[in-house]
Amino acid sequence: MTPPAPLRYATAEDLPALAALEIACNPHPWSQNQLQAALNAGNALWLLPHAQYGVAAMLVWQEMVDEAEILLLDTHPDCRRRGHARQLLAALQQHARAAAWTRLLLEVRAGNEAALALYRQCGFKECGRRRAYYADNGEDAVLMECLC
CATH number of the domain encompassing residue 117: 3.40.630.30
The number of distinct structural domains making up the chain is 1
Residue 107 known to be catalytic: yes
| Per-residue pLDDT, 70 | 97
Of the candidates 67, 107, 126, 139, the residue annotated as catalytic is 107
Enclosing domain of residue 77: 8-147
**Would you state the torsion angle of the CA atoms of residues 31, 37, 43, 45, taken in this order, to the nearest 10 degrees?**
40
Residue 1 lies in a domain: no
Of the candidates 119, 133, 134, 145, the residue annotated as catalytic is 119
| Per-residue pLDDT, 123 | 97
Residue 3 lies in a domain: no
Residue 63 known to be catalytic: no
What is the C-alpha separation between 78 and 60, in angstroms, rounded? 20
Q: pLDDT tens, 29-61?
A: 999 999 999 998 878 889 999 888 889 999 999
Give alpha helix (H) positions in 26-125: 32-40, 84-98, 113-121
What is the value of pTM for the model shown? 0.92
